[in-house]
Amino acid sequence: MSAFHPAVVGLARCVCQVDRPFLCAYLSGMAKLPIITLPDPLLRTQSAPIERVDDEVRQLADSMLETMYAAPGIGLAAIQVAVPRRLVVLDVSDKDEPRNPLVMINPEIVSLGDTLAPYEEGCLSIPDVLVDIDRPSTVRVRYVDRYGKSQELDAAGLLATAIQHEVDHLDGRLIIDFLSRLKRDIVVRRFKKQLRSAKI
């Protein structure tokens, strides 16, 4: 999930001998990773669970955090860096506050609150697009932390919104899915046109 003004991030990727275009940076320690954007079809992929929490997973989480902070954003799903695994990182602390990173492996929303709250959401994979979305203002989420321990968290406000946004990514859902079909198609066509222009 992006901050208020999402930054445009490059599309460069590197094909390694794992899953699809896993990033070479993923295998070489903490590094800023390229973020994939529309119309990349991988963004519609259902991410697979992580079966074991090891140093490789922790390296990926650290690189995702660095990427998220640099973008800048408040949340990032592994699928956004072309890794189709159920991993998200978040930090909704204000810019004047100390960083408070949160790593969630295999997050599962257990329950949602009854009250909806509006928020203008952006997405690092859909630069410069903001969508007004009403989501439950509270959420309970179960996940595995970076040490392999099961955790459960009750979140409210912006954190609740960010968690729902990132879990949507893991299921192949994007903020433009909250738009009418006409508006969604306009956004997709714009990004396809930008991609064609970039190849010329």
Closest CA to 73 of 133, 135, 162: 162
Q: Which of 51, 56, 66, 166 is catalytic?
A: 166
At 131 the three-state DSSP class reads: strand
Closest CA to 32 of 75, 4, 69: 69
Q: Percentages helix, strand, coil for the chain, rounded to the nearest 5? A: 30, 30, 40
Q: Is 97 marked active-site?
A: no
Is residue 133 a contact partner of residue 118, using CB atoms and an 8 Å limit? yes
Neighbour tally for 54: CB within 10 Å? 10
Tokens 């990427």 identify what position?
67
Dihedral, 121, 124, 127, 131 alpha carbons, nearest 10: -10
Residues with a catalytic annotation lie at: 166
